[in-house]
A and B are shown apart, each in its own frame.
Chain A
Amino acid sequence: MNDRLAIYSEMAQENSWLSILPEISLGVLALLLLVLEMTLPKERQGLILRLALFGQVVILLAGVVFSSLFGVATEHTSFNGLLMHSVRGDVMRLFFLLCSLLVCHLGHQYASRRGLPQVEFIHLVLIVTAGLMLLAQSHNFILLFVALETVTVGFYILVSYSRGSLYSLEAGLKYLILGAFSSAILLFGIVLLYGAGGNPQLPGSSGDPMNFALLGSFIEANPDNILVLAGTVLVLCGVAFKIGAVPFQIWIPDVYQGAPIPVTAFLAVASKAGGFIVLIILVQGPFAPLERVLVPMLGAIAILTILFGNLGALSQKNVKRLMGLSGIAHAGYMLLGIVASFQVPWAANAVVFYLFTYLLASFAIFGVMNNMGPLEDGDMTLDDFKDLARKNPYNAAVLAIGLGSLAGIPPLAGFIGKLLIFIAAFKAGLYGLLGVAVIGVVLSIYYYFGWILEVYFWPSLVKAESEETIEPSGPGLIPAANSHRIVLGCLTAGTLILGFYQGALSYLL
């Protein structure tokens, strides 16, 4: 009995809580917000929001300074192999922190315009972010599943946050049912892998097949085991739901349309990035020996995803559905990078770079959307953006640069992101996939530029049809605070700078 206790106390020693200090700080901050909301008097509630934003900035800066980016980067595990600390994991932690900061900013603006409570929103965003950050470092299926569920449960609530709106509640219900379904598929896959990997009759089995390293060596020893193949496919199906890849994309337009704008942005960027980082961890880790099966499977999914997203977005007038469908297409391009990463190892880093460009462009666009339009944002269409260039040139410019980056126009960051992935695919010899992706990009230029056309050339479009001048009749812009202008400016500047100079992220490659 005593020697067993010794083993357990050794296990407890491995729990190096300091290495996940950013996540713990986020959790503590989230709890602090709830306590302060109860104790502070009404007139001082504004303090809570400042504390939340300030706390996140501090965590982000501390994360940059103390991250492994500047030190000697060594991959090591902690928490008995539950977590794997790597440079990519640290980069993604900063990515999610940045997302959380932007979402809190947008959410503050959104909620104060509509009179929704704000503290609960930020509380949930913080918990979801902590979950995403742990997801990016997971090295064990149990931790992966718990982190994923923390993220998903938070999103169920955030999607239906605007609870006076029927769209929002409907979106929340749809996301809840389909999310639970996908979690069940993922769990079933994990169980199959666990059952196969723990079978002592098979070579390479281990006592802890949940661990990615041990599972990887088991799969390498039995690449043809039926249970392993079935489990792998089911796990990847669960992940495909998160990134919105065909055939698990069906929820995206409805949920994106119904969710409040900040949450749509959070879903589009952070939830998708979470899915992709899990995919990278799995494909480069335990599932690497299954290349023979995974390359055709993921390749087919990538083709379908690119085509579905772009074709669906072509005729879309509702801007949030448009962003959702074009987001599916972006997921397809990134899947192309994942497929290429079997041959070209740096392709996974190209996907991470792509995620950063996607973050900058998407948050800029959603920020502009947040600035305008009717209170019921589920109905916002391209018509609401008519003649924005004359009404508010600053927002129009931000929107145009963001859309241009998503479309992949040369001087902008989105172009470099796409270029890196396409080069990787070319080097990996995926010519067919590359052709489909290029067709997808050409299609996407049509609908992105249609949007820009509405913003800049609306008067001339109308004049061509009838000679009388028609005043745009959409609801006006809301005068935005200076802080919002600064945030939008920073995002746009980031898009421009990353387009010309990628040195800051070149260590990834």
Chain B
Amino acid sequence: MEDILFYIFAAGTLLSAFLMVASRNPVNSAMFLIVSFVGIAALFVMLESYFLAVIQVLVYAGAVVVLFLFIIMLLDVEDSDKIRPKIFTIVAGGLAFALLAIGVLGLFASGAGGPEPELPMRTAASLSRNFGYQLFTKYMLPFQMIGFLLLAAMVGVIYISKKGPTASSDEPEKE
């Protein structure tokens, strides 16, 4: 039963991820991204990591994709249908995919990626308390640094997007 569910969710995640890249309409892409994220959340549930699953849905499928949709609507992209990938891009992408596939198959053929026996759980990842303890003791320093990272990002967004007298008057035409 669990195996079947795993295959269903994994296939759904992969398929929607592929459709997200291949889809011509950006709004459709964002929708497929949500499906993909929900599939990953389902995989987390099967690993008994309920907290991660909830975060995955709340933050990624909820907040992040909604933000994407806002921006797509604001930009009002119309010409995206006309942009076709070049032959060179398709060939290069196909080649990269083939190389990766050979690598992964080689991994399985060598037995290194083979089925591993089930392992006992170290700490219950379902409890948000465990994350909290780690975050505020051992990983306090990276936690504080992320605060500065977000501040820098915020200052940057405000700086780059704010309206005002642009500095350089002799703006060149980009060839």
Partner of A142, one of B116, B139, B151, B167: B139
**Contact string, B75-98, partner A, CB cutoff 8 A, digits 1/0?**
000000000000000000000000
B47 CB to closest chain A CB (Å) equals 13
Q: Within 8 Å CB of B145, what residues of A?
A: 131, 134, 143, 146-147, 150
CB of B148 closer than 8 Å to a CB of A: yes
Interface majority SS (helix, strand, loop, mixed), chain A: helix
**Contact string, A175-202, partner B, CB cutoff 8 A, digits 1/0?**
0000000000000000000000001110
Cα–Cα, bound, A82→B141 (Å): 8
CB of B153 closer than 8 Å to a CB of A: yes
CB of A226 closer than 8 Å to a CB of B: yes
**Contact string, A140-167, partner B, CB cutoff 8 A, digits 1/0?**
0011001101100110110011111111
Cα–Cα, bound, A149→B142 (Å): 11
- Residues on A close to B: CB < 8 A? 4, 8-9, 11-12, 15, 20, 27, 30-31, 34, 79-80, 82-83, 114-117, 120, 123-124, 127-128, 130-131, 134, 142-143, 146-147, 149-150, 153-154, 156-157, 160-167, 170, 172, 199-201, 207, 225-227, 230, 374-376, 378-379
Cα–Cα, bound, A199→B116 (Å): 10
Within 8 A of A (CB), among B109-148: 110, 112-113, 116-117, 119-120, 122, 133, 136-142, 145-146, 148
Cα–Cα, bound, A230→B108 (Å): 13
Partner of A226, one of B110, B151, B153: B110
Interface size on B, residues (CB 8 A): 38
Q: A15-B140, A167-B174, A226-B113 are in contact. Are A130 and B148 (CB under 8 A)?
A: yes
Contact A79 B141 (CB under 8 A): yes
Contact A164 B167 (CB under 8 A): yes
Q: How many A-B Cβ pairs are below 8 Å?
A: 130
B158 CB to closest chain A CB (Å) equals 9
Partner of A153, one of B112, B153, B166, B170: B153
Contact A163 B107 (CB under 8 A): no
Cα–Cα, bound, A82→B165 (Å): 45
CB of B4 closer than 8 Å to a CB of A: no
Partner of A156, one of B119, B140, B156, B174: B156
A75 CB to closest chain B CB (Å) equals 19
Contact B167 A127 (CB under 8 A): no
CB of B22 closer than 8 Å to a CB of A: no
Q: Within 8 Å CB of A15, what residues of B?
A: 137, 140-141
Q: Within 8 Å CB of B137, what residues of A?
A: 8-9, 11-12, 15, 80
CB of B155 closer than 8 Å to a CB of A: yes
Contact A226 B112 (CB under 8 A): yes
Contact A115 B174 (CB under 8 A): no
Contact B160 A160 (CB under 8 A): yes
Cα–Cα, bound, A310→B120 (Å): 54
Residue picked from B103, B133, B153, B168, most chain A C-beta under 10 Å: B168
